[in-house]
Amino acid sequence: MLIDQEHAGIIMRAKTHPRQLGIPLSRWGRNLIACCPFHSPEETSLFFYDALGYWRYRCLQCGSEGDLVEFVMRSRFNGMEEPAARAEAVDFLGTLESDQGKQTQEEHPWIKEIGGEKSKVLENFVRYCHWAACRSPSSAEFLAARGWNIGQAQLYGLGYYSGDPEPFISYCMMSGIERHQISFYLDNLEAYHEPRITIPARNSKGLIHSVYGRVLDDTDSPHRYISYASGPSDIPFNIQPDISKPVIVEGFFDALTADLAGIPGVVSTMYQELSLSHLYKLKACGAESVTVILRRELDRREQEFRIQKYLKMAEQQDLRFKSIVLPKGETVDEVVRKNGADQLISLVAQTEEDTVHTHRRSMLLQDIKENFDTAMGCPPDVSVGYALNTFPKLTQEIDGIQSGCFYVSSKPFGLKTTLLSSFALDLLQSNPKLKLIYVALETPRRQIFDRLVAMLIGESVLTVRKQSEDEAVNQKILEATRDLMAFVRNNRLEIWEDQPAFDNQELLNTLKEEVREHPNLVVIIDGIDHLKVSDHVDLSDIHERRSSVVLDLYKALDIPIFVGGELVDSEQGLVGPRAYLRDSDAIYWLESKGGNLFLTVDSKRLGNNQLYQGTLSIDPLSNRMQEEPWNIENNG
């Protein structure tokens, strides 16, 4: 039955258009919409669409659906027997049997388009996948989670592919498509075998040029989106002719949900960088201005520079340009679903056209508003930063470990590594979503392993380096080692050693990638004096150059960065190297006096000069540090 409907639809698509039906039609996204005559009271809920390769109708309220012949049968010749009604409908649409007999393959749009055979294969794949989606509970669950039902998915040809090509190949053979054609045009079909939602992409003429697949879960798969057919990647998804003010978004469902809501001209770059080629194609379809809507990224500076690049590209094409960066965590898909199409349309209309100056101003206004919203969204009794459970008074005084550059030093000098190790273990144990990267520039990585295991079990480093005569101690070492391995397996802990090419740019690029995958990232660099630097050669002082590296990291990443190094204590206070004092948000100074350990946190940037002062205790075996018990009792 599916094949018969398909062939009937192809005949009607070659000759007819919904506007020949003689009913009032309005443009709704890329589709047409009208009042549904098949249920009472009539509602504007009847869509005409050709997402499956030929014109069909579907009412999203009563569920009525079919091709144009069936629409005419039901609306004009209701009551007649089906064969007679079909004949009258075909005659009404002007497609007589004699015309069908004369119709040659050359008249078919597949043949008129270069690569028409490819369109035939892809459209059959789209129809097969939609048929499969109607019978797949997993695809229905995925669509329902995004607020879609099968009827809405049909408007855009969304489907489901199980990963097994054989049923589709059998289906194609019934349609006269040979196996070698499938392998040639769907050249990636057998490369990916996991189930996926399929999304057809059409050019401005409405012909499919590729079919994309999306995995059904939201894991960080390197192949979350793939194309089953090799083809042009610079055609904006959902591109339409005669759109003077296209809106460019990032994701497939951002464009689809906006189009379903009736917002005209919303296209997607399919998570690719906006390019001149995208703008060429939009301008060829009538674009006079473009609006780019982006999801907020962690690296705001880099995103701002990229928008400035888009602005220059638009100016080269004589296109007016607007840019909108959504609030943190929001997408166009979510905005439209929660607040409706009018809010997004109003946001685009009220946004000023960009020049270099207005862009900087609009970005600044958005940042100020987001900064306020973030502050007001944090209750008074909740720490802004990450907690340190063994340092409760410190957590309270500094409101948790927040984004910043913090310099850590001590007297004697070796205590700063012990403090950093204690901080590292506390952060991992107290904050389940946090990831920590410990850059050990002074000591071998194996020593860090031993130190952390010793701190976990309360034994000395020497104890954990060999088998103990006490089997209970061996068991504790085993369990602590497993805990340490679990941190690593769960991608919550990495320990890096020094590398010959560990320069500013390499370190920055590596950490940027980490922040994209793990926003809750903390970096500890122990031994800043050993950091190799190959840029900033204009700075003659090596300390100044190394300090500039850390400052670059902090400005670009906006995460907590602890830097361990050497400071000099004098009667006037802490001195040198000056660059560290100038660039750090706070200085953690640990000093041993009279058998006691005193930790102070000083800052000239964060309000009072002295943010915290407390007494620490140190485990005599493991050397793990924490606040004195009286501090814990009074502030726990």
- pLDDT recorded at residue 23: 86
Residue 571 has pLDDT above 80, yes or no: no
- pLDDT recorded at residue 534: 61
Measure the CA–CA gap between 278 and 116, rounded to whole angstroms.
23
pLDDT tens digits, one per residue of 22-71: 788 888 888 889 998 888 887 888 999 887 777 889 888 888 888 888 88
Domain identity same for 435 and 500:
yes
Residue 87 has pLDDT above 50, yes or no: yes
Domain identity same for 332 and 468:
no
Higher pLDDT, 352 or 212: 212
Q: Report, as an integer, the average pLDDT of 590-594.
A: 89
pLDDT tier for residue 361 given thresholds of 50, 70 and 90: confident
- pLDDT recorded at residue 296: 84
182 within some domain: no
Domain identity same for 343 and 461:
no
245 within some domain: yes
CA 117 to chain centre: 35
Residue 75 has pLDDT above 90, yes or no: no
Residue 181's closest CA among 115, 244, 250, 225?
Answer: 115
Domain identity same for 521 and 624:
yes
- pLDDT recorded at residue 487: 94
Residue 607 has pLDDT above 70, yes or no: no
* End-of-domain residue from the set 336, 369, 402: 369
Q: Report, as an integer, the average pLDDT of 200-220.
A: 84
205 within some domain: no
- pLDDT recorded at residue 543: 63
Domains in the chain, number: 3
Please count the CA atoms within 13 angstroms of the CA of 186 that sit on its side-chain side: 31
Most confident of 76-90, 114-128, 284-298, 538-552: 284-298
- pLDDT recorded at residue 599: 94
Domain identity same for 355 and 397:
no
Residue 12 has pLDDT above 50, yes or no: no
The two beta strands, 625-627 and 610-618, are: antiparallel
Instruction: Give phi and psi for 357, each to the nearest 5.
Output: -70, -50
- pLDDT recorded at residue 413: 85
- pLDDT recorded at residue 79: 75
Q: Report, as an integer, the average pLDDT of 411-429.
A: 93
Domain identity same for 618 and 486:
yes
CA distances 78 to 24, 41, 43, 73, 83, Å, are 20, 18, 20, 6, 12
Domain identity same for 504 and 564:
yes
pLDDT tens digits, one per residue of 428-468: 999 999 999 999 888 888 999 999 999 999 999 999 999 98
What is the SS3 assignment for 608?
coil
CATH code at 322?
Answer: 3.40.1360.10
The two beta strands, 266-268 and 31-35, are: unpaired
211 within some domain: no
**Would you state the structure tokens that stand for residue 469, as one six-digit string?**
């005569």
Domain identity same for 249 and 344:
yes
* End-of-domain residue from the set 103, 120, 152: 103
Q: Are 616 and 597 in contact, with CB atoms under 8 Å apart?
A: yes
Q: Are 248 and 269 in contact, with CB atoms under 8 Å apart?
A: yes
Measure the CA–CA gap between 560 and 401, rounded to whole angstroms.
7
Query: Structural domain of residue 76, as residue ranges?
Result: 1-103
Note if the bond before 109 is cis, omega within 30 degrees.
Answer: no
Please count the CA atoms within 13 angstroms of the CA of 312 that sit on its side-chain side: 6
First to last CA, the chain: 71
Domain identity same for 273 and 360:
yes
- The DSSP H or E segment spanning 92 is helix 82-92
200 within some domain: no
Higher pLDDT, 555 or 188: 188
Share of the chain above pLDDT 90, in %: 33
99 within some domain: yes
Contacts 24+ apart (CB under 8 A), 415-420: 415/590, 415/592, 415/597, 416/526, 416/564, 416/565, 416/590, 417/442, 417/443, 417/526, 417/564, 418/618, 418/623, 418/624, 418/625, 419/588, 419/590, 419/599, 419/625, 420/524, 420/526, 420/562, 420/564
pLDDT tier for residue 605 given thresholds of 50, 70 and 90: confident
Higher pLDDT, 115 or 604: 604
Average pLDDT, the chain: 83
CA distances 406 to 412, 414, 422, 461, 495, Å, are 19, 17, 15, 27, 19
Residue 406's closest CA among 272, 284, 528, 300?
Answer: 528
Residue 205's CB is within 10 A of a number of other CB atoms, namely 11
Domain identity same for 413 and 266:
no
pLDDT tens digits, one per residue of 613-628: 999 999 999 999 999 8
CATH code at 22?
Answer: 3.90.580.10
128 within some domain: no
Q: Give the full edge-to-edge strand order of the sheet including 625-627.
A: 493-497, 435-440, 521-526, 560-564, 404-411, 586-593, 596-602, 610-618, 625-627
Residues 6 or more apart in contact with residue 133 via CB below 8 angstroms = 139, 140, 143, 150, 153, 158, 159, 160, 197
- Position 341: which residue type? A
CATH code at 533?
Answer: 3.40.50.300
Higher pLDDT, 511 or 456: 456
Residue 200 has pLDDT above 70, yes or no: yes
Domain identity same for 364 and 487:
no
Least confident of 85-89, 162-166, 408-412, 595-599: 85-89
Residue 232's closest CA among 213, 212, 248?
Answer: 212
Domain identity same for 296 and 405:
no
* End-of-domain residue from the set 103, 126, 152: 103
**Per-residue DSSP letters for 27-59?**
EETTEEEEE-TTSSS--EEEEEE-TTSS-EEEE
- HEC profile of 480-528: HHHHHHHHHHCCCEEEEECCCCCCHHHHHHHHHHHHHHCCCEEEEEECH
Least confident of 207-216, 228-237, 245-254, 568-577: 568-577
Higher pLDDT, 300 or 150: 150
346 within some domain: yes
**Would you state the structure tokens that stand for residue 348, as one six-digit string?**
């685009």
Residue 506 has pLDDT above 60, yes or no: yes
- pLDDT recorded at residue 573: 63
Residue 481 has pLDDT above 90, yes or no: yes
Measure the CA–CA gap between 250 and 295, rounded to whole angstroms.
8
